[in-house]
Amino acid sequence: MSLYSQRGVSAQKEEVHEATKSLDKGLYPKAFCKIYPDILGGDKDWVNVMHADGAGTKSILAYLYWKETGDISVWKGIAQDAIVMNLDDLLCTGIYDNILFSSTIDRNKRIIPGEVLEAIITGSREFFESMRSFGVNISYMGGETADVGDVVRTIAVNGTMTARWPKRKLITNERIKAGDVIVGLAGFGRSKYETDYNSGIGSNGLTSARHDVLHKTYGARFHESYDTSLDEHVVYIGPHRVTDVVEENGTKYEVGKLLLSPTRTFAPVIKILLEEYFDSIHGMIHCSGGGQTKCLKYVPGNVRIIKDNLFEPPLIFKLIRESSGADGREMYQVFNMGTRMEIYTDEKNVGEIIGIAGGFNVDAKVIGRVEESSKNELVIKTGGTTITW
């Protein structure tokens, strides 16, 4: 059993999928978000989408960093994580404008003071203002903030996004086919709309990242930061403190900041792609929960996805792998490994797509292709090894 499973989490969410298997899949079962008829407007040519997600256990990393350093600004990043995990999922259905967002924040008031809530709310507002400058309009509808110390050890930051959208502008993944190429967008580096280097960690796999990278002292000092029923041999087993500095190619990085890099949105890039190359985009996959295997759930039947030119995993994933001893299969199944958005398209406009991403300082390249197959399968080739699902 993997360390990830031993910590009570699952990259594939098997039990969640089992519990929800009887639910209506919406109008387009392969679409990245569930899409319903236009209940709000009653127009057969429009649809409604409502999607919920959040920052996950990354909020615990923010808590540890804040307690260790006093830097409350890290909570603004958690606000961005909760928003982007919704926004970039919606992008995969073609939705990039006129979006409503409502936040849900559950906290243990005894541990999380009002100044943390203020930082999260301020961070949300600042992110929306930034996106508005790129023509991505998201209205902040407030939300629910509850003091539930008997339920939540520290704080959980989540949100819900809603949009009404014309059917003719939807991406439903049904057009993904053999012969398509896959353009990958990198989640790491520093885009033109970011103020700092982004490690590419995103908001998935942070339970593993936290326990594998951080030192045992965090469990001893902050019992509220983990499930105390876990076996101690899987709790904070790493070599680092959040303030440790690591170096790569002459550049120094703080471990805590690498783990807490706010999830990058691709909204400014994808808005332009959808406006200028909509017909050429056959599908999009946000490599979130399930990492590089996420695509298997959303591609049509009988295709083989081959990824043999993924980005070299950035430093944060090397630190996690070195600390945990995880093999390649587990790493690519839990983490995005630096390639966080996939665009399935024909070869004709690949150069233009890559060029538009590059204009925002977002690295992009062809990472793979789609082939015919007798069954759905995924092949990842990296570092001289082949991994198949």
Span 46-64, pLDDT tens digits: 999 999 999 999 999 999 9
Q: What is the residue type of 207?
A: T
| ∠ CA 102-105-109, rounded to 5° | 155
Query: On the CB side of 242, how many CA atoms lie within 13 Å of its CA?
Result: 22
Distance from C-alpha of 115 to C-alpha of 109, rounded to nearest angstrom: 11
Residue of 281, 298, 292 whose CA lies nearest to 317? 292
Contacts of 114 (CB under 8 A, 6+ apart): none
> Residues of the chain whose pLDDT is less than 70?
1-22
Instruction: State how far Cα 144 lies from the chain centre.
Output: 23
pTM: 0.94
pLDDT of residue 11: 54
pLDDT of residue 25: 81
- Dihedral angle of Cα 72, 77, 80, 86, to the nearest 10 degrees: -120
Span 316-335, pLDDT tens digits: 999 999 999 999 999 999 99
pLDDT of residue 24: 81
pLDDT of residue 9: 65
pLDDT of residue 19: 62
Please state the φ and ψ torsions of residue 237, each to the nearest 5 degrees: -110, 10
| ∠ CA 265-266-267, rounded to 5° | 90
pLDDT of residue 8: 60
Class of domain 3-9+22-196+260-388 as given by CATH: alpha beta
Cα–Cα distance list, 321 to 62, 155, 239, 313 (Å): 21, 27, 12, 11
